[in-house]
Amino acid sequence: MKRAIFPGTFDPFTIGHYSIVLRGLSFFDEIVIGIGTNQAKKTLFSVDKRLEMIQQAFEHEPRVKVFAYNSLTVDFALSVDADFVLRGLRSVGDFEYERTVADANRTLTGIETVILFTESKYSYISSTVARDLISYGKDISKFLPPNVKL
């Protein structure tokens, strides 16, 4: 079985994240979405709320599992028997960071990173933009996966 993790803070989980997971399912038998704790990030939504939102998005897809973790991403990958890390790239700016992390992960554990480019129609959407819009009282439903309610 080919299992990948799709790690992130997902505050909130956007339609761009959703697209990466759906497209990733054509390569992997199972994708485990891991909500990581990043001490450097101030989150808007609790971990429980983020779990709920992502579970709503994939309620009809049994090949997607969702867990929270508080460890190195590669340790989380090992704990769920994943051989791959799935990541999405929106821009060239994301590339250098993702490459550095992928190289470190492969060196530490042998786990490979698979990168999918974000669909052009979602490339401007980020969790940061969504949080900013929420802070100004804007409706972000167009930026969220189907079935997801804030």
CATH number, domain containing residue 60: 3.40.50.620
The mean per-residue pLDDT over the stretch 80-90 comes to 96
Would the CA dihedral through 119, 61, 76, 27 be positive or negative?
negative
Q: Please report the pLDDT score of residue 56 as a whole number.
A: 95
Among 41, 99, 121, 138, the one annotated catalytic:
41
Model's pTM, two decimal places?
Answer: 0.94
Q: Is residue 85 part of a domain?
A: yes
Query: Parallel, antiparallel, or unpaired: how do β-strands 112-117 and 30-36 relate?
Result: unpaired
Range of the domain at 28: 3-143
Q: Is residue 150 part of a domain?
A: no
Is residue 122 scored above 90 in pLDDT? yes
Among 23, 63, 90, 131, the one annotated catalytic:
90
Q: Is 83 helix (H, G, I), strand (E, B) or coil?
A: coil
Is residue 46 scored above 80 in pLDDT? yes
Is residue 17 part of the annotated active site? The answer reads yes
Is residue 90 part of the annotated active site? The answer reads yes
Residue ranges of alpha helices (H) inside the chain are 15-24, 47-57, 73-79, 92-109, 127-135
Q: Is residue 149 part of a domain?
A: no
The mean per-residue pLDDT over the stretch 46-69 comes to 97
How far is 71 from 87, CA to CA, in rounded Å? 18
Q: Is residue 148 part of a domain?
A: no
